Each structure stands twice: as structure tokens, then as C-alpha cells.
Amino acid sequence: MVQQIFMLSVFLYIAAAFLSLVMNRIYKVANYISAIGTFAAAIAGLVSTIIVLVQGMPFAAEFPRFVPFARFTIEVDYLSAFMILVISLIAAVTAIFTLTYNERYIGKNAGIFGFLNNIYILSMILAVASSNAFYFLVFWEIMTLASYFLVIAKQDKEAINSGFVYFAVAHAAVTLIIFSIIVLYIYAGSFDFSDFRNAEIPQATKNLIFLLSFLGFGIKAGIVPFHTWLPITYSSAPSTVSALMSTKVAIYGLIRIGVDFLGASVWWWGLTLLAFGAISAVVGILYASVEKDLNRLLAYSSTENVGIILMGIGVGMIGFAVEQPVLGTLGMLAGLYHMVNHAVFKGLLFLCTGSVIYRVQTTNMEEMGGLAKRMPWTGFAFLIGALAISAIPPLNGFVSEWFLYQSLFMAGNHSILAVKALSPLFAVMLALTGAIAAMCFVKAYGVVFAGPSRSEHAREAREVPVPMIAGMMLLVVGILVLGLGAPVVAPYIGHVASSLLNTSSPQVSEGLTVYPTSKTQAMLSTPLLFLFLMGLLVVPLFIVWTLRGEKSGRRMDSTPWATGYAYSARMAYSATAFSQPLRVLFHPVYWIRTTLVEVGSKIASYFRQVVGCIDRLESFWENTVYGSLARGTVLLGKRIQDIQLGNVRMYCLYIIITLVILLITTIR
Amino acid sequence: MSGTAVVNFLAVLLILTSMLVIETRRLRLAAYMYSLQSLVLVLIFLSLAIFMHAEPLYIWSFTALITKVFLVPWLIIRTLKKIGDQEGESAFKTSTTVLFAVFLVALSFAVANSFQTYAVVKVKIAMGVSIALFLLGLLCILTKKNALKQIFGYCLMENGSHLTLALLAYNAPETVEIGILTDAIFAVVIMLVIAGRLFKSFGTLDTDNYTLLKG
Amino acid sequence: MGENLLYLLPAVPLVTALLSFVIRSYRIVEVVHVAGISGLALLSLGLVKSLLGGQTFFALDGMLYADGLTAILILLIGTVGFLSGFYSIGYMRHDLAHGEVKERDLSTYYGFYHLFLFTMILSAISNNIAILWAAVEATTLGSAFLVGFYKHKTSAEAAWKYVLICSVGLAFALYGTILTYSNAFSVVQDAHKAMLWTELIKMAHQLDPQMMKLAFVFILIGFGTKAGLVPMHTWLPDAHSEAPSPASALLSGVLLKCALFAMVRYYAIALQSVGSEFPQTLLLIFGLLSVGVAAFFILVQNDIKRKLAYSSVEHIGIIATGLGVGGPLGIFAAFLHTINHSITKSLLFCTTGNITMKYGTRDATKIRGMKKVAPLTGFLFAAGLIAVAGSPPFNIFISELMTLTAGLKSGLFWPMILLLLFLVIAFAALVILISETVLGSPPEDLPRGETNWMGLLPLGILFVFMAGLGIYLPAPLNQLLQDAVGVVLGH
Amino acid sequence: MVWFALGSILLPILGSVLVLLIPERHVKKAGQFFSFLAFICGLLLWIGFAENRDSFTRDLLTIGGINLFGITIDTLSVLVNLMVVFIGWLICTYSVGYMNAGNREHPVTEGIPRFYSFMLLFIGSMSGLVLSSTLLGLLFFFEMTGLCSWNLIGFYGDQKSRNSALWAIILTHFAALGLYVATAFVYINTGSFSISALGNLNETEKIIAFGGILLASWGKSAQLPLHPWLPRAMVAPTPVSAYLHAASMVKVGVYIFARTVLEAGAVPQVIGEVGAIMAVLTMVYGFIMYFPQDDMKKLLAYSTIAQLSYIFLAISLSIYGSELAFNGAVSHIFNHAFAKGLFFLVAGALAYTTGTRRLSMLRGILSKLPVIGVGYIAAAMSIVGSPPFSGFFSKFMIILAGFQVGWHQPLILVLMVVTLVESVGSFIWILRWMGVNVFGSPSEAIAGASPTPVSIQVVVGVLILMTLVSQYIVFLLLS
């Protein structure tokens, strides 16, 4: 039954893809078909995976072989189901969003866009669903290919360039992944996941596989120092695509290989993840905070969030490695929880950005401002998203980070010195990240939505059409559900985490509270927190309401002023100005960033010289090697030609000399 | 005087005459010298025929008398009337050529010595001379630039090989001799015709000038 | 039947030659000529057919003789003689029409043509080694006027060099002949028998090896001169390039082989008398030398007929290499190559005739764009050049491959690699020639269209042979070659 | 079966003679017709073989008890033969549209019969080479393909193209010497020309024979150091280049290598080592040479060189006993043919419509010429090995097999890592040009493009489809 629903979802994606391709000429129809198809398919996917997760019934299926050396099998276990859930969720929301968004942005190619979009989502789902590494790779690559075309959908120079960067980096990453999978294959003898799990692999090889896959998936996920492609890509990709890309399927691969296949066998793997995660988180958010371009800001923030997810998984892997299932599950829970959270709030933020771009037609925050008044729904959604991403309780971002803090504290009690020593440091870094993130998104909201409008478009902006609002609102609901509903949601994610180790899932919630497996360490109840916060809001209002008789003096001057000057738009606290203190504070980090950029251009200039050299190499072969051979032959021919000098007496002499030589050798 | 001695004496005479053919600057004179040499050759044939009781050699000497003593010189002289009989320069001085000739003669005798195991060779000196004659002919072709001189050279070679044939294969069928002789005559005829044409075309008989075709 | 053919075969061209010399009207001479070559072709085919299966015939008291070797030569003389003779008609008419030659000259030409054929037939069928020598020498004399046929300075020069060098060279062969004879005579003490090749081969193992070695050296130099082995080849490019094209075809296609086969007769004796090493090594050295030197000449020479002449030197070299490799396979390859080369080179020289008619020059740097000017001629020329370059689907490819195979079989690895490298140079030279002359863009002022349509017919036939032998070796021909190999190896 | 095989060899050859004889206005149709007949034969052969899968060898021409030519029907030959005749047919169809006076890059007004004649001869020769069961047959058709390519490369007849044609024939002929030696060597050691006789040689003899074969294959497949003819051959009319690169000429080399390795049983490992090292060297060289190229066809030429190195690498790996590598090689021969054929035809279509092949002048193909644009994408993605295009599967098989072998052979492991790096590098470079050329707003050259002939569009369409499904045709036979 579950399987049928899942297959229905797959079928719907395919149908939507090809129908929209066929209808490309009538692009509006194509857009609707595609969006509705995607939505229906995503709902089917959601239903099937929720059944899997809730009822605990993974399923598997095998299809006819296309390729002689690999079985085409699909297996939706907890982890896959969780991933599919996340993907489907975002897919459904973006589907609604695209109904109107695409009409304007993709225009006449909406059919093709629909086709690629469906293929992209489907390949993501199949990649996480297949239980054969070869098909995982195939779908992974199809996913990359489809997303490449989606990234360059606008087809301007910038988009093409960013598409190039995206695809090139993704392909390089895939190569590393292929490498690691091939090594697994060599030991397992087939591409089946089940064989991978049971393969006898020496520890050194395991390390190699892990490092390769970590690099590969890490690049794809955008961790520091491989994050540079993210802002480039996101800045020109359509917002819906950026939202879909925020599902971070790469993490799935890392978990699959690192934890599922290799059993997280040594503790330093986890520590590596943890370290890279922490650095990514801090550096990512630092970069984000000084960014003027909204898309790029969100991209850097993705790096940050990937870092946080990795930290969770790192802790989880340490837990598994040292055979502390509780720590492992908890860390993994934090990571996975943050993954779904990130997908939801980052998706929301991208959709909001999409909406803003839809009206303002720029991504430069300096040209926005004051949009909250003109686009109230969008502003509200962005606010919720910003709060969530800044880990403000009781929203979802806070919950997952809270779990992460708890797991880090737990790891701090660990016997391994490095882990023990570093865990608090990572916790501090996480805190720093949270702080800067809050500041960063305050800035973002403030600059974009508050204050005066700083451009013509911004002044003329109005609210986006209903489908787009609906899409955003769905995600707002998602944030609330994941935040306030944490006591309900967390155990299921805990199931997913524990299923990776085949342990019983630990207790992480009771009633309205969640806790890191033991109530003594800490407890959190987001619903109660929410009530409390609501209370905090309500109480002042109540006070004001009770004291309403007493009129306090209100300044009614409508135009603001500053130090004696009348207000102008240029005076507003702009994005650049806002981040000035950070720039000063973290000067070295930014310095690295600028020098890196310069190095790029320097390398490019060397590259041109190299190209010139290579150009000459071609003629080297032809002129020097073969040319001299040919010339030499002709020259030799001309020398030899001299023997035919035309004198008949010489000719006779030749005969005689030959005869004499022969006679001498014969008689001798 | 035994038969061998006669033959050997005549053979030495051949060397002398061939040197005269080579070194005579006037071609008409050279033609006469060649005629003389051929006469000596005929005499050798005759003496061989007598002393060795080789009947076929009578016919040989007869045909040789007609062709070599009379026909060939006549043909050459006939051609000389058209093209003048003065030889141009040669590649070496006379003294050098003679030195070469001496060397070649010595070589020939050395070679002829190696034939001693063969019963047929009763007249070693004659054998050596026949080879020497052949080589002198070659020498003439190599050192003389004049086309007619080269024809003489060819004739000398031909005489030499004829003598060798007579010494070694005197009892071979007549057809052989006739065939070879016919070839020789025709070769000379053709060469003379071509030499005539060459003179008409190039205005000289110096073969070193005939180098239009090379490479 | 066979014996009669041995008389008839030389008689036909001899009579035709005499008639041609006598008759003045060139129209009648042409008729006589056609009759002569047709008769010759039929008779030679008849002889070859009766020789199949290792048959031998004697005639004239054993002086004339025919076996497998003869059959190959007779086949070539008949076929090439007929086809290039047929081609001559159109060629000569063209020359006549353009005032190159006079009517009287045509009679001379046809007369010498047949005389030449006669001498070659004689060399093919003579059993007496002295007559053999005389016949080979006679071929020089018969063809000398063909070489010097045109009234150019260069023609006379070429003829002079041809006659002089060949005569000098062949004089050495006479010494070789005499040495062989005296060697044999000391064995059998019978002057008649000691001159007959069939007897010599029977007593070969009794001959004095040292003497035979010496004789073989003289024979190699002598007949090698006539066959065109380097460094005695010097007359060859001159003669072949100056002769009228059909005569060049005959010179290159058949004459060289006559001399070569005369050498093969001695080679057969030497094999038994002195063992295989000595003659084979000599032939191998001369073969490789010829291929190597000729390959360079082909590359740097600009006159297309001289190029083709050097190509003949090259192929004679390959045949010599095949003989030098020895063994049934090597000799088979050599003989097959002989046939193949004759066909191909005749085709090429005749085609060159068409080209010179069209372009009025033999300079490869001036002949351009044949594919547009004269497509059929261009096609045949290109096909022929590809064939002599040793590329499939044409015949020479097969025999070259066989030569190589035989060489490797004998363990001559490096010589064969050397051979192949030389062949690459020749190949390159020839394809460059095609590329320039056939494919290039033609001169503006040259009128389009074929000349000498009549001449294309024999060329077409030659082309069919050339392509056919590249794909399939007919059983009778195979039989013929096997017979010839049997003759050489003495079983 | 044998008749189908013979049909695919002889029908085009027959056609090549006929097109020279019939009036010029019928030539294009006749050319199409005969190539189509060949394709039908090839297809029927494939179907027949796919049904019962029995490989066999039939001797056809035997003289004196020695088999000179025969036909081998097995997976390899049937597949490659299908590729040869299929692409041959497509190219002949394409040329109907391409070879006319409307061609912007190089209007063609004369020589059509010659073109079709050699094209058909080319198809027939290739088919003959592929199906031949003897080394003699291989050698024969090896040289035939050289001749055909020579004439076709020099088709335009100007100085440059003639020179390039000479490069091609002289270099490949030089390489052919290796095959000559190998053929002769096998014959004298086994008394047979049959390819399977290679298996009867001993170790040392095999090294010599395979040394020769390797040389020949390198030359024909334009591998280092015998490669310079291939980039130069780009002066040929584009359909010719397409056929040279896709289905013939360069495939001759890899095919004979594959065929001989398949038949020879155990091949000395040193051959595998040399083959693999040279393959990787060439691959890297080909990759490096991408950078300075601005001529689309030249870029493709170097891409061909690099892609053929993959096949060489795979065959060399199969010498180590990896069946997967061999299957990968077969697949790559097949897949690369369609992808590279498509790529060249796209280049040709661009040249036809815009008159330029300069990469830097092409932009926004997709918007103006959608079919061509999609063709470009499909070809590029298939060549760089991105699924679902078929190039991925074969490349993956090769790399997989390489690591499998390399796990116990440090040398191979190093080579495979280099290969992997190269694959990423070439991917990036091709992708870069694809981004520049295909997307965006049309550049001047593209905007002024003339309409594409229908035959070109149809052929490009068919090939796009083939880049997606060609792999499954292979797998149908391999599984």
C-alpha cells in the first residue's frame, strides 16, 4: 500500500514532467500542469513517507535490470523516508509558489522549466530512495544535470556563469563520491547497499572511503572551504530552485556512507565533521552578515546551517564510534532535526526573497526598504523565517540547536580527551553563530522590510499574488509545527537516528516537553515557552489596556530627522552600515575572503599564459617532431639524388665498384 | 715454338694493340688499330684451333675476321666522316692511364692464376690477357670522355670476352658464338647511330656534357 | 602442341616486325600491328595454358624450353604486350596529329616494338645460357630505338646511356655465363649439355661451389644492371622516362622481369650448388638497397615518369628481397609481385601517356586537378599509384604482405622493418603525388575532357586485373606460380 | 545471418560504384538508399543475433587451405557493425542537406558523386573490418578506410585540405606497418590468418604481435604520438568529420585492438601496461589541448582523442582480466559514436547555417535553433558522461573496472586517479563552452543564421534520441 502510493508519486512526477514538456508551446497551461502535478506527487510522497515513519514500515522494491552490473532496487527505510519527506514538503510548497512566480520569471519556457523541475525533484527522491549505489549515482547526476538547467533558467550571462560554477563543482564532488563508492564496490562485490553494509573493509580503506565521501558530499553541501560556489549559484538561480536546493540531499549521502555503511567506526570522523561544521557555521554566518545581496546572504547562511547540521551528525558519529548510542542518537537527532528545519525556514526565506524580487526586481538589499508596509504577508513570513533561522525560541531553529547544545554538553563529558576538550569550544562557536545569525537577519529584515524605500521599484511594490502567499504561509505553518510541535516530532526523528544503529529509539519527549534522553540534564517545552512568550506580549498590552485612561504624550511628527538634518533615504541604516562593526571585528576572516578572490584573478592570468604555451605545443608536434622528420627525409632524398648525377662514366664506375666489392667479399 | 708459346706471344700483342687503341688520339687511327687488334685475335683463334684441335674455332676465326677486322672498323670510319675524328680531352693523362693499365694487366694475370685448376686453361697467359683486354676496355670507357672512344672501349671488352670464350668454351656450339657476335655487332651499330644523333643534338661527343637527365 | 608454340611464339613478332619495317603506309602497319599483338596474346595464353601443372616443353634440340618460369614471363609479355600495343595506336596517332613524329616513324616504332617483343620472348624461352645472355643483350638493342624514338636531345642521351651501361653491365653477365659453362663442362665434359640450363640444374650440386659463387656475382651484377638493381639502375630512369609511354610500359612491365628471370635461372642453380645463404644474402642486400634508394628518389623527383621509373626500381627491389628471403613463400611472393607490378606499372605508364598528352608536360609541379580535367585518367592514375604504393584493394598489397610474411618467417625481423619503413617513404611520396596532381585545382586555361578515348580501353582492362588480383587470386594463376616456385626450388 | 553481414559490407560498396555511373541528380537519393540498405542489413543482423546469441565464424575465402577472409558474428562485431551502418546512413542522409550550395561555410557545387562514392565505400570498408575474422581482412579494410578517409578529408581540394589528407593517410599508413608485421608474424607462427590464431602464440610472440597491433591502433585512433593527423583532418566536410570521428577511422584502431584482445585469450600484461600508460598520457594531452581551441571542430577532435584513450584504457584493463572493462570499452565505442557523431553534426549544422565554427562567435543557439541547441547539450553531456546520457554508463564501467583492477596494481590505480581528474577537467571545459554557446541571447552570427535543412534536423533528432538509448542497445546484448 505504502509502496503503491510512493510509486504513484513517482509516476505523477514523470507524468507532470512530460506533460508540461509536451505543452511547452502553451506555456501557461504547462506551468499549471507542472505545478499541480508536482503538488499532487509531493502530497503522495508525503503521505507514503509519513506512513513509513509513523507506522514504522519501511518498504523495498526491485525493478528489471537496465544495467548488467547493478540491480535497480528501491528501499525506503527511515532515513530515506525522512529525506523524501523533507524534499516532498518543499516540493509541494514550491509547486504552489511557482503557479504565479514562474509566469513572470520563466515565461515562455515554463514547460521546459516544469519538466526539469519535476525531473529534479524526482531524481532527488529516487537518489535517496534507491538502495543501489549505482542508481544512487545515476539519479544524483541526473539531479545535478536537471538543477544545472534550472539554475541557468534565466539564461543571462550571470546565470550561465553561475550554472557553470555550480555544475563544475557538483561534478567534481560527484567524482569523489564515485571514487568512494567504487572502493566500497571493490570490497562488497556489488552495488547493493546491503552488501556495502556487510563488506569486510580494512580500517585504512574505511578512512579513505569516509574522507572521499566527506569531501564529495561536503563540497556538494557547501562547507567551508568549499562553499564559494554556493553564493554564486544561489544568486542567480530562481528562488524556488534555491528553496529546493536547501534540502541538502548531500547530507543524506554522508550519513548513508559514513554511518550506515561504515558504521562510523572511529571517533575522529565525527570530530572532523564537528570541526568542519563549526568552522562552516561561524565563517558562513560571518560572510552572510556583511552581504548586501539578499540571495547571497541566504547562500552564506546555508553554509552556516550546513555547518550546524554537520556538527550534529559529527556528534552523532562520535557517539556511534565510542558505542554510546544515546549520545549518537542525540547528535544525529540534532543534525536531522536541523536539516528539516533548515529546509523549511531557508525554503521560506528563499520564497520570500522570490516574492521580493518578483516585485522589486533586484536582489540588492540597498535598493529595497520599507516593504513591510507594501507587502505585509511577505514581510510577516520573512520575519518568521528570520526568527526561526536565528534560533529564537520557540521556533524550530531553536529546538534543533537546543538539541545540538545538549549533545555537545553530553560529549563534553566524554572520555576521549580531544572530544572532551573541544566540545565546549564548539558549543561556544555555535553560540557565536547564533548571535551573529540573529544580528544578520535583523539587519536583513530591517533593511529590506523596514525603513524607507530606497528605490523606485521598492516604492511601487505591492503584495504578491495569492498562490505565492499561500506557499509562504504553508512554510510558516511548517515552522510553527516543527517548533511548537517538537514534542511530537522529535521522537520520530529520533527513530530515524536510532534506526541507523539498529538500537531502540531513546526517549526524547514526554507530554509537552522534549529532553536529551535524560530529564536530569535539561528539558525544553516549546509549547509552554510559546505560551510564556505570548504572555510576555500580552501582559504589556494588558497593562496598557488597563491604564488606557491616562493619555501619554505622543509625538505626532511624521517625518524623522537626524541630528538636525531632515531625513533622506541615504541616511537610513543600510546593510553595509549595519555590518560595519562586524567587518572591523572579524577583519582577518574577510581579508582572507578578498585575497581569495584576488588569487582567482591572478590564477586566471597565469592560466592565459598556460593556454598560450599549450597552443604552441600543438605546433611543436607538427613542426618539430613530424616536420623535422619530413624535412630530414626530403633532405636525405636530395643527398641521395646526387648519386644520379648524369655522367655515364660514373654510372659505369658504380657498376665496377659494386662488382669489386662483391668479388672481394666472395673470394675472401 | 710450341703452340702455347705462339698463342701467348700473340696474346701479349693484344695488350699492346689495345693500348694503342686507347691512347691514339685520332679516331680513324684508333679504328685501324682496332682492326689490327682484331686481326691478332683472329690469329689467336686460328692457332688455338690448330693446336687444340678445336674445329668450331675455325668458324669463329672466320666470322671474326669478317666482322671485326673489316665490318666494325668500316662502320666506325663511316661514322667518323660525319662527326670528325678528333678526340676531345680525356679524364686522365696518358701516363696515368698507362699506369692504370699496367695495374690492370697485373691484376688480370693474378686472377687468371686462380683458374689453374681447370684443365681447359692450358694457356694461362692468354687467359690473363683476355681478362686484361676486357678490363682495358672498361678502363677506356671510364677514362675517355669521347663517345666513340667509349665505343672502342666496348669493342675491346667484347674482344676480351670473346677471347675468354674461345679459351674456355671453344667447343661450344656455333650458335652461341654467332648469337654473341651478332649482339656485339648490332650493339656497335646502334651505339654508332646514337653517337651520330648525339653529335647532331649536342654538337660534341664529350659524354660529360650529356647530363640533361639526372636526379 | 607446346613445341610448336615455342616456334610460333617468337616467329609471330619477328614476322610482324619485318612486315612493319617494310610497309610504308602507317594505316596498314597498324593493322599488321594489331594482328601481331593479337596473335601474340593468343599464342602466349595458349602456351601458358599448356604449361599449367608443371608441364615442360623442349624445342630446337633443347635450345628452346618452357617451364613455369617461362610461363610467367610469356604471360606478361603476351598481356602487357597486347594491351600497351593496343594503347600505342591511340598514343601514336595523337603524336602524329601533333607533329611530334612523322608517318614513317610509326612503321619504325611498330617494327621495333615487335622486335623488342621478339627479343623478350627469346630470352624467356631460351634454354641455352649463352643464348639467354644474347637474348637479354638483344632486348637492349631492340628497345634502344624505342627509348630514343623522339628526336629530343634527352632521348638520344637516354638511349646512349641505356645502351652503354646495359652493354657494359651485361658484359659481366657474359663472364658469369662463361664461368658457369666452364664449371659445368669440367663436370660433364659435354659442350652442348654444359650450356643447357635444364642440364645445369640437374648437375647443380656437382658444380664447384666457389666457382659458382663467382659466377653468381657476375650474373648478379650483369643481369642486375638490366633489371635495374641499385646501384646499377642508373640507366633506368632515363630510359623509362624518355621512351614513348607504351614503350615505357613494356620496359618497366616486362623487360626488367626478363632480366630478373634470367638471374632467377642462375639463382636456382646457385641455391643447389652453393647453398641458400650466399645468393639469398646478396639478393636481400641488393633488394633492400634498391627499395631504400628508390624510395628517396620517388620522394624528391618531380618528373612523373621518372618517379614511376624509380618506383620500378623499388619494386624490382621488393622482388629481389622476396627472392632473397627465399623459401617457397618468399619466391612465390616474388613471382606474384612480378605479375602484379607488371600490370600496375603498365597501367601507370600508359596513363602517364594520357597525362602528357593532356598537359604537355611531365613535371609534377605543373600537372594539377586531373580529377576535373580528365576524371577517368585521373581516377586510373590515382588507382594505379595507390596500387604501387602497396595499398589495398589492389594487387601489390597482397604480394608485399606475402614478402613481408616470408621475411619474418625466415627470421629477418629487422630487414623487414627496414623494408617497411622504406615502403612508407615511397607510399608517402606517391600519395603526395596523387594529392597534388589528381586532387589539386587545375590550370585555368586547360580544356576539360579526356584525350585518347581509345587508350582508355586497355587501361580499363589493366585496372580490372589490378583490382581483381587484389581481391582474389585465381586458381590457374596460383597453380602457375606454384609451378614456377617448383622450378626454382627444384621439385 | 551471414547474408546480412555480407549485405552490410557489399551493398554500400556496390552503391559506391553505382553512384559514379548514374546521373548526378540521382546521386543523393542513391547514396541514401544504399546506406539505408546497409543499415537494414546491420539492423537485421543485430536482431538476429540478439535473438539466439550464438557467436560463430564463417570462412568465406580460402585459398590453398588458408583462410583469407571470413566473417565473425559476435556481440562485439554485431554491435559495432550496427553502429557503423547506422551512423553511415544518418550521415548520408545528413549530407543530403549539408552538401549543397546553400552551405554558408563551404558551398558545395561539385563532386557530389565522388563524395557519396567514397562515403559508401567507407561504410562498406568499415563494415568489412568489423566483421572480418582474419587479420588479413583487418589489414585490408584498415588500409581501405585510410584511403577513403584520405579522399574525403581532401574533398574540397584546396592546398590545406589536401595537406591534411596527406597527414592522415601517411601517418595511419605508417601505423599500419604494425598490423602488417603482426599479421605476418601470426601467420608464420601459426600458419593461419585467423584472428583467433593469436591465441596459439606463446608469451613472447604475443608481445611482438600485440606490439604491432598497438602501433596500428594508435595510429588509426590518433593516440600519442601519432595523433597530429586528427585535428588537421578537421578541414574535411563536417559529415565526413562526423563519420571519421564517430563510427569509422578512429574506431578502427580501438576496434582492432579490442577484437584481437578478445580473440587472443590471455594477453601479456606488459601490453596492458603500455596500453594503459599511453592511453592516460594521450588522455591528458588531449585534455590539455582543449584549452587553446576556438574552432569547434578542433576542440571536438581533441575530445575524440581523449575519449578514444578511455577506450584504449578500458581494453588495456581488460587484459588484466576484467570483463567489465571490456564491456565498458564496447559500450564506449558504441556510445561515443552516437554522441560524437551528434556533436559533429551539430557543429556542421552551425557551420551550415552561420558560416562559422568559431566557438567564441556562437551564443544563444538554443533560442534561435532549438533542435541544434538541444543536440549540442545532449552531445556534450553524453561525451562528458552525465546521466541519463549514455556516455556516463560506459565511462562509469571503465572507471569502475579500472579501480577494481587498480586495487591490486598501484600503477593502474595512479592512472585511474589521473583519469578521474581528467574526466572532471574535460567535463568542466566542455561545460564551459556549452554554457557560452547554447544559452543566452543569440550572438550576431546565430541571429543571422539561415534555416536548417529538414534532413539535418531529422538526423540530429534521431541522434539525440540515440544518445539517450544507445546504452540500452548495448546492454541488451551484454546482459
* Angle, helix A526-546 to helix A486-499, in steps of 10 degrees: 160
Output the pLDDT for position C360.
84
C449: alpha, beta or left? (left if phi > 0; alpha if psi -120 to 50): left
A339: alpha, beta or left? (left if phi > 0; alpha if psi -120 to 50): alpha
Contact B215 C167 (CB under 8 A): no
Handedness of CA A310, A311, A312, A314 (dihedral sign): positive
Which residues 187-226 of A have a C-beta within 8 angstroms of D?
none
Contact B179 C237 (CB under 8 A): no
Q: What average pLDDT does the segment C29-36 reach?
A: 91
Q: Give the single-character DSSP code of A520.
A: T
pLDDT in tens, D132-163: 888 888 888 888 888 888 888 888 878 888 88
Res A348 pLDDT > 50: yes
What residues are paired with D56 via a beta bridge? D73
In chain C, which residues have their Cβ closer than 8 Å to the Cβ of A636? 296
Q: Which of these, C436, D440, D279, B137, lies nearest to A157 by C-alpha position?
A: D440
Contact B145 A649 (CB under 8 A): yes
Q: What average pLDDT does the segment C404-419 reach?
A: 86
- How far is residue D74's CA from residue D195's CA, in Å, rounded to a whole number? 13
Type of residue at A249: V
In chain C, which residues have their Cβ closer than 8 Å to the Cβ of B171? 191
Flag the least confident range among A229-233, A605-609, C424-428, D384-388. A605-609
In chain A, which residues have their Cβ closer than 8 Å to the Cβ of D231? 618
Q: Which residue is closest to A644 within chain C, CA to CA?
A: C234
Output the pLDDT for position B122.
62
Q: Does D386 touch chain A (CB under 8 A)?
A: yes
Pick the more confident residue, C78 or A64.
Answer: C78
Q: What average pLDDT does the segment A599-608 reach?
A: 60
State the pLDDT confidence band at C322, using cuts at 50, 70 and 90.
very high
Q: For chain B, what is the domain count?
A: 1
Output the pLDDT for position B158.
87
Instruction: Report chain A residues touching chain C, CB-CB < 8 A.
Output: 633-634, 636-638, 640-641, 643-644, 648, 651-652, 654-655, 657-659, 662-663, 666-667
Please count the residues of chain B. 215
Flag the least confident range among A265-269, A615-619, C180-184. A615-619
Q: Which residue is closest to D424 within chain A, CA to CA?
A: A172
Contact D184 C371 (CB under 8 A): no
Output the pLDDT for position A331.
87
Output the pLDDT for position A151.
86
- How far is residue D281's CA from residue D272's CA, in Å, rounded to a whole number? 14
Cell of D334: 558504441
pLDDT in tens, B53-83: 777 788 888 888 888 888 888 888 888 888 7
State the pLDDT confidence band at C75, using cuts at 50, 70 and 90.
very high
Q: Which chains touch B (3 or more CB pairs under 8 A)?
A: A, C
3 state SS of C473: coil
Q: Which of these, A319, A305, A295, lies nearest to A237 by C-alpha position?
A: A295
Handedness of CA A237, A240, A245, A246 (dihedral sign): positive
Res B134 pLDDT > 60: yes
Output the pLDDT for position A462.
82
Q: Which of these, C352, C290, C355, C284, lies nearest to C321 by C-alpha position?
A: C284
Contacts of A555 (CB under 8 A, 6+ apart): none
pLDDT in tens, D170-181: 888 888 888 888
Res C368 pLDDT > 70: yes
Output the pLDDT for position C267.
92
Q: What Rg do the C-alpha atoms of chain D give, in angstroms?
A: 21
Which residue of B135, B158, B176, B185 is the best one to mutate when testing the C interface, meaning the one whose CB has the most C CBs within 10 A? Answer: B176
Cβ–Cβ under 8 Å, residues A285 and A433? yes
Cβ–Cβ under 8 Å, residues C336 and C383? no
pLDDT in tens, A413-460: 777 777 788 888 888 888 888 888 888 888 888 888 887 777 877 788
State which residues form the domain around B148: 3-209
Res C320 pLDDT > 90: yes
Pick the more confident residue, A597 or A35.
Answer: A35
Contacts of A295 (CB under 8 A, 6+ apart): A231, A234, A235, A236, A239, A242, A353, A363
- How far is residue A179's CA from residue A167's CA, in Å, rounded to a whole number? 18
Contact D61 C472 (CB under 8 A): yes
Q: Does B182 touch chain C (CB under 8 A)?
A: yes
In angstroms, the Cα distances linking D443 to A190, D287, D367 are 49, 27, 10
In chain B, which residues have their Cβ closer than 8 Å to the Cβ of A652? 138, 141-142
Cell of D4: 546480412
In chain A, which residues have their Cβ closer than 8 Å to the Cβ of D436? 160
Q: Which of these, A455, A460, A230, A463, lies nearest to A365 by C-alpha position?
A: A455
In chain A, which residues have their Cβ closer than 8 Å to the Cβ of B145? 649
In chain C, which residues have their Cβ closer than 8 Å to the Cβ of B202? 153, 156-157
Contact A662 C217 (CB under 8 A): yes
Q: Give the single-character DSSP code of A596.
A: H
Q: For chain C, what is the domain count?
A: 1
Flag the least confident range among A558-562, C194-198, C386-390, D192-196. A558-562
Across the interface, of D63, D144, D185, the residue whose CB is closest to C408 is D185
Average pLDDT, chain D: 85
State the pLDDT confidence band at D276, using cuts at 50, 70 and 90.
confident
In chain A, which residues have their Cβ closer than 8 Å to the Cβ of D398? none
D and B touch with 3+ CB pairs <8 Å, answer: no
Q: Which chains touch D (3 or more CB pairs under 8 A)?
A: A, C
Output the pLDDT for position B119.
46
State the pLDDT confidence band at A371, using cuts at 50, 70 and 90.
confident
Output the pLDDT for position A398.
86
Residue D34, φ and ψ in degrees, nearest 5: -70, -35
Contact B173 C195 (CB under 8 A): yes
Q: What's the number of CA atoms in the CB half-sphere (13 Å) around residue D440?
A: 23
Cβ–Cβ under 8 Å, residues C253 and C343? yes
pLDDT in tens, B111-121: 777 665 554 55
Which residue of C325, C399, C416, C431 is the best one to mutate when testing the D interface, meaning the one whose CB has the most D CBs within 10 A? Answer: C431
- How far is residue A410's CA from residue A404's CA, in Å, rounded to a whole number? 10
pLDDT in tens, A270-322: 888 888 899 888 888 888 888 888 888 888 888 889 999 999 988 888 888 88
Which residue of A640, A647, A663 is the best one to mutate when testing the B interface, meaning the one whose CB has the most B CBs within 10 A? Answer: A647
Res C335 pLDDT > 90: yes
Output the pLDDT for position D397.
87
Res A467 pLDDT > 90: no
Residue A508, φ and ψ in degrees, nearest 5: -125, 0
Q: What average pLDDT does the segment A539-557 reach?
A: 66
Which residues 34-93 of B have a C-beta within 8 angstroms of A?
91
DSSP A110-176: HHHHHHHHHHHHHHHHHHHHB-BHHHHHHHHHHHHHHHHHHHGGG-SHHHHHHHHHHHHHHHHHHHH
Across the interface, of A634, A658, A667, the residue whose CB is closest to C300 is A634
Pick the more confident residue, C359 or A561.
Answer: C359
Q: What average pLDDT does the segment D9-23 reach?
A: 86
Contact A655 C168 (CB under 8 A): yes
Contact C232 A654 (CB under 8 A): yes
Q: Does B111 touch chain A (CB under 8 A)?
A: no
- How far is residue A339's CA from residue A221's CA, in Å, rounded to a whole number? 12
State which residues form the domain around C197: 2-489
Pick the more confident residue, D440 or A61.
Answer: A61
* Angle, helix C375-388 to helix C395-409, in steps of 10 degrees: 10
Q: Does B210 touch chain A (CB under 8 A)?
A: yes
Output the pLDDT for position A603.
59
Output the pLDDT for position C219.
92
The count of CB pairs under 8 A between chains C and D is: 81
State the pLDDT confidence band at C41, using cuts at 50, 70 and 90.
very high
Cell of A463: 503584495
Q: What is the ipTM of this complex?
A: 0.85
Q: What average pLDDT does the segment D100-124 reach?
A: 83
Cβ–Cβ under 8 Å, residues B141 and C168? yes
Output the pLDDT for position B18.
86
Res A555 pLDDT > 70: no
